[in-house]
Amino acid sequence: MDLFNDILKQASSNTKNASKEIKKIDEACQKIEKSTNVRLATERKQSKIVKPPPEKPK
């Protein structure tokens, strides 16, 4: 019975550690997605800024 309890404790510990790692990965993915969205928004804003056409020489 003692061995069974040790196995359960180890499994519980592994599950907790895995949950922590998954949370870290999720946070990193959210940061990447946010920075990508900010970059894309900046690019869209800059593409809307239309430069005046160059003047034609007379």
Q: Where are the chain's structural domains?
A: 18-44
CA separation for the pair 27, 23 (Å, rounded): 6
**DSSP, res 1:** -
pLDDT at position 58 is: 62
pLDDT tens across the length of the chain (58 residues):
799 999 999 999 999 999 999 999 999 999 999 999 999 999 998 888 766 677 777 6
pLDDT at position 48 is: 81
Query: How much is the pTM?
Result: 0.63
